[in-house]
Amino acid sequence: MIKYFQEFILELYNADKTDPPQIASDMNRYNELENQIKDFDRLKVTVNNIYMTYKDEKDLIDKLAAQKIIDKTDNKKKLKFHNPVLAIWAQSCDKRRDLKNLQDQIKDWKTDISDEQSNIKANPSSKDSLSANIKLTEDRIRQKTQDISKLQMEIVNLEKIAKDKLKVFKDDLMASKKRIDLYRFNKFVKKWKNIFFSFYIYIK
């Protein structure tokens, strides 16, 4: 009996010809969802690192393709991710890169303002022209700060969409698992009922 039970467990998500179409479909769906969930958990940090460090469009495509996250292409706009959740996650990573670039730019501009303020103290006669430069830079910072706020909201929204989609996957996974487990358990019980009945007839 232990041998049969082990076989039952090992074959849990492998459909055979006697399984109803709905159960076979559940098994295929379960395997697909399980792989997608595992891939997302395994690759989300890798995707983030690739987007934060790639040198140019070709480098991005090459690195994603090397990890088998996408099929090779020659255009960033044509990227096709194998995992739909990673595709959404990648969008948020791309915006995180844009966010960092803006933050670095603002940091550089603030350094420029500080330098020009020091120059004004050292050369009071240049105050008018340097003050105009400072005001122009401050205006740029205000505009980019608004862009940063917009990007941050977009990142939060994309990450929420990815997490919600992942939750749907996990809910579908568990629903398929329950149907598969119930079917296989009933099949297992029926099989052993037949074995015991045959044994009973044999010894009677």
Q: What is the largest CA-CA distance in the chain?
A: 117
**CA–CA dist 103, 49 (Å, integer):** 18
Domain boundaries, the chain: 21-191
3-state secondary structure 51-105: HHHCCCHHHHHHHHHHCCCECCCCCHHHCCECCHHHHHHHHHHHHHHHHHHHHHH
pTM of the model: 0.79
Taking only the tens of pLDDT, the chain with its 204 residues reads 334 333 433 344 677 777 888 888 888 889 999 999 999 999 999 999 999 999 999 999 999 999 999 999 988 888 999 999 999 999 999 999 999 999 999 999 999 999 999 988 888 888 888 889 999 999 999 999 999 999 999 999 999 999 999 999 999 999 998 988 888 888 877 766 665 656 556 555
Contact 180, 27 (CB under 8 A): yes
Residue 166 CA from chain centroid, whole number: 8
Q: How is residue 136 written in tokens?
A: 């122009």
pLDDT of 9: 38
Residue 151 CA from chain centroid, whole number: 18
pLDDT tens digits, residue range 121-168? Answer: 888 888 888 889 999 999 999 999 999 999 999 999 999 999 999 999
